[in-house]
Structure 1
Amino acid sequence: MNAVASNQLDGDGRVRVSLAELIALRSRVARLRLPPQDSRATRVGIQSSRLYGRGMDYAESRAYQPGDDVRRLDWRLTARSGRLHTKLFQEEREGQLLILLDRHASMHFGTRVRFKSVQAAKAAALAAWYAVRAGERVGLMQFGGYTHLQRPRAGLHGALDVCGALAKGDTFVSDHREPLSQVLQHVIKFQHGANRVLLISDGQCSDELARHRLLEMMRHTAVRLLVVADALELTAVPAGHYPIEHEGQRRTMVLESARQRESFQKSLGAGQVRLVATAQSLGVPSRIIDTASDPMDAVTALLRDGGKRR
């Protein structure tokens, strides 16, 4: 991405995604101590053993990366392409993380620090940097008014591709609604070998069929859920008069009684409550963060050890 394009996509980090901030998150992840990798290849979502020997099934070849064992070079493909390629075997297939990011209009809302859409993008970027540091490929699928698939890719380029796609996707806002079940059905068909999926959403797009789609996905993929919510969706607001703006029109919302405030909070937070309840019923590890918190702990907990259900 050239400097001009980068400047055009770089927002303020509050109502628009800051590309520079997403890229800078790399340094924070670099300071983390990653847990030792589990070598058991039978567990979904865990990186496979790097052992090399006879009896291993050939899986695929990929471009050579610094540190690869030269004994595993695919000489035939190297000769044909003119570039070094390494053979991968079934037990050592690279882990792949696919991030599903909700881009519905409801995400472009926030009363504390930043919009939900910006917080979600920060979380997605942290997940991308974490994945590539752990040796995984990382991809991104954005949905809800703006649909875009960034195919899983390894290393620095993989994380940078995700950051660039996040910044570009943030420039689109649409009233189009896409049920979560429809998105998951598409992912199940075209998930491009991902063995881990991180869904980031505010839950407003969740529907009844989403539970069945999640269950189907879990048969082949380790699923994690990160719900991004605004403070108004999590707790009842104090009594008072609140100015709101929608489609260029400004109005004042009066919330005086406890019943009014509780009803308002429940209506706003219905989506995240519904999605978290679905995840808990299926045993999907989940976390909830608000727009003012640091998403680092939630993201690393979900990707490191699956997290504890909440």
Structure 2
Amino acid sequence: MNAVASSQADGDGRVRVSLAELIALRGRVSRLRVPPQDSRAMHVGAQTSRLYGRGMDYAESRAYQPGDDVRRMDWRLTARLGRLHTKLFQEEREGQLLILLDQHSSMRFGTRVRFKSVQAARAAALAAWYAVKAGERVGLMAFGESHYLQRPRGGVRGALDVCGMLAKCDATVSGQSQSLSQALQHVIKLQRGANRVLLISDGQSSDEVARDRLLEMMRHTAVRLLIVADALELEQVPAGSYPIEHHGERRQLVLQSQAQREAFQQRLGEGQARLTAMATSLGIPYRIIDTAADPLDAVGALLRNGGGRR
């Protein structure tokens, strides 16, 4: 369903990503007061904890958890208490943000101002500029109809690389899809020890296994979630007949009864509802924006130390 009535020209900022716009967003972020990120602090839900890695400074020991590095076992404490314990080390390093961007076909939909895919790219670009201003390295992994990986890089060059990749992803469709859980599994393998991941999605690709993958990722990484939704997914439309376009074919969608409108909204919004419930149950900070909103406030709230949840 392509419900935005506009030309299909590349880079128009409505149905296709405009690279010039993504680069220009740097100016908006440059006017913000962005506190430097403390790569040693990680906030998961309402809990605050240290980020531990393979640094030289011993911090403490705690009970062993599945997935812990067995080379870090505290054998003395294990022998004394009779239960497995792991040593934790405080690691000093440059912060790193990986943006995980949903590129499924459901993102190429919009009834207000722009497609969800374009809004997601704008939010990702703002996050990249925000990260480099905070002194972080930034990278991008796209999944869904497009599959790309831009490894984290520091400075302005890192944000520019992300912007270029966003435009490239938007212009390319591989024809092969990937579930959210599969994408998360890939990130877990690549980003063991990365301190932050920002997932941008409409939730339609979320599956039951994704919850377990998110939980596994949260042991090592601070996860943030930005849900991009169309207005039709967030509220019921008035009764009426609506023109829609799907794969170049124009049709009329008739929604007259209350039951029809409720079912239509529920069907469209099931992805964001499912992902919101998942984030709430895991304590993952998240924000929801529609396709007409300014993403800057939501991105800033998620990337500031501590994040937040709505």
Q: Which runs of 5+ in 2 are unaligned?
A: 1-8, 58-89
Q: Is the 8 A contact 1:244 1:252 kept in 2?
A: yes
Q: Is the 8 A contact 2:193 2:221 kept in 1?
A: no
Query: What are the within-5 Å matches in structure 2 for residues 256-295 of structure 1?
Result: 256-295=256-295
Q: Taking structure 1 as reference, are residues 37 and 143 closer, same or farther at Cα in structure 2, changes over 3 Å only?
A: closer
Q: Taking structure 1 as reference, are residues 256 and 174 closer, same or farther at Cα in structure 2, changes over 3 Å only?
A: farther
**Partner secondary structure for residue 102 of structure 1:** strand
**Partner secondary structure for residue 233 of structure 2:** helix
Q: CA-to-partner distance for each residue in 1:151-180, whole Å, 9 max, x for gaps?
A: 000001000000000001000235543111
Q: Which residue of 1 aligns with 2:109?
A: 109
Percent identical among aligned pairs is 74
Q: Is the 8 A contact 2:43 2:306 kept in 1?
A: no
Query: Which structure has more RCO (C-alpha within 8 Å, separation ≥ 6)?
Result: 2
Structure 1 position 37, deviation (Å): 4.8
Q: Which residue of 1 aligns with 2:249?
A: 249
Q: CA-to-partner distance for each residue in 1:174-202, whole Å, 9 max, x for gaps?
A: 55431111110111001264210000000
Q: Is the 8 A contact 1:104 1:173 kept in 2?
A: no
Deviates more, 1:17-26 or 1:27-36: 27-36
1:34 aligns with 2:37: no
Structure 1 position 130, deviation (Å): 0.4
Q: Which residue of 1 aligns with 2:237?
A: 237
Query: What are the within-5 Å matches in structure 2 for residues 1-310 of structure 1?
Result: 11-35=11-35, 37-38=37-38, 41=40, 43=42, 57=56, 91-173=91-173, 176-191=176-191, 193-310=193-310
Aligned residues: 264
Structure 1 position 306, deviation (Å): 3.6
Q: Which runs of 5+ in 1 are unaligned?
A: 1-8, 50-55, 59-89
Partner Cα distance (2:245, 2:174) in 1? 17
Cα RMSD for the two superposed structures: 2.3
Q: CA-to-partner distance for each residue in 1:222-266, whole Å, 9 max, x for gaps?
A: 000000000001000011001111122211111001111111000
**Which structure features the higher share of strand residues?**
2
- Please report the TM-score for the alignment, with normalisation by the length of structure 2: 0.80
Deviates more, 1:94-103 or 1:243-252: 243-252
Q: Is the 8 A contact 1:224 1:306 kept in 2?
A: no
